[in-house]
Amino acid sequence: MKENNVLNHILLKIGVPDIVNSTKAVPGGTVVVAWDPPFEGSCPVIMYTVYYRKVAKNSKWQSVTVKGKTNSYTLQLKCREEYEVAVTSMSGYKESAFNESKIWNFKTQGGDVAYDKSCTDTYRTWPRHFWFKFSGRCAQLVNYMKV
C-alpha cells in the first residue's frame, strides 16, 4: 500500500521550473527571465507564472502568466534597483509550490550608450547640451553644458 502512495505522489507531482539566469547585474531595465521546464514525468505544464518584486521593505510580489510552451519572458523594470524573480508552473491540477522555486536576485544598472541632445532650459532661454546614458527605457544624466 505504501508503494502505491509513493507512485501516486510521483505521477501527480507538479514540477518546478528552474531559472537558468544567475548573473547578479543586468545592464538595463529590459530583463529576460529564462527557465528550464520541470523534469520529465511531471504533469504537463499549461502555463507558467513569473513572480517579481523590488528588494525593499514591504514590497509585494507582482506576477505575469506565460503560456506553457514558452521558456522565457521579458520584464521591463526600473534601472538601478534590486529585484527578485521566481517562476512556478501550472498543471491541470494546481500550481507548483512557490517555496520550492529558485529565486533569482539581481540588480538592474544604468545604460552604456552615449546620447547628445540639445534642448532649451524651461526657466532660461539659452540652449544647453545634455549627455545621457541610455539602456532600454533607462536614462541617466551624465553631463550638461551651457552653449
Contact 130, 147 (CB under 8 A): no
pLDDT category, 110, cuts 50, 70, 90? confident
pLDDT per position as a tens digit, 13-58? 567 899 999 999 998 889 999 999 987 566 788 999 999 999 998 8
Chain centroid to Cα 124, Å, comes to: 41
Contact 128, 111 (CB under 8 A): no
In whole angstroms, give the CA distance from residue 95 to residue 98: 8
User: Which domains are assigned to the chain?
Assistant: 2-108 (2.60.40.10), 113-146 (no CATH)
pLDDT category, 63, cuts 50, 70, 90? very high
pTM: 0.69
SS3 percent helix, strand, coil of the chain, rounded to 5, is 10, 50, 45
- Kindly state the average pLDDT of the residues 110-130: 46
Contact 119, 11 (CB under 8 A): no
